[in-house]
Amino acid sequence: LVYSALAVLAAYLLGSLSFAVIVSRVMGLNDPRTFGSKNPGATNVLRSGSKAAAILTLALDAAKGWLPVALVRWFGAPYGLEEGTQALVALAAFVGHLWPVFFGFKGGKGVATALGVLLGVSGWLGLATLAAWLVVVSISRYVSLSSMAAALFAPTFFLLAGGPLWYADHRVAAAIGAMAGLLVWRHQENIGRLLRGTESKLGQSKNKAP
Ligand code: NKO
Give me ligand 1 centre to Cα 144, in Å: 6
Query: Residue 203: its pLDDT value, please?
Result: 78
Measured distance CA(26)–CA(14) in Å, rounded = 18
Which range (48-57, 99-108, 157-166) has the least confidence?
Answer: 157-166
Evaluate if residue 207 carries a pLDDT over 60. Answer: no
Measured distance CA(93)–CA(72) in Å, rounded = 13
207 neighbors 36 (Cβ within 8 angstroms): yes
* Ligand 1 atom index nearest CA of 20: 5
Measured distance CA(75)–CA(85) in Å, rounded = 12
Measured distance CA(132)–CA(146) in Å, rounded = 8
* Whole-structure pTM value: 0.94
Measured distance CA(97)–CA(154) in Å, rounded = 19
**pLDDT band, residue 101 (cuts 50/70/90):** very high
Q: What is the average pLDDT score of the chain?
A: 94
Residues with CB under 6 A from ligand 1: 36-37, 39, 41-44, 58, 109, 111-112, 114-115, 118, 129-130, 133, 143-144, 147, 150-151, 154, 176, 179-180, 183, 190
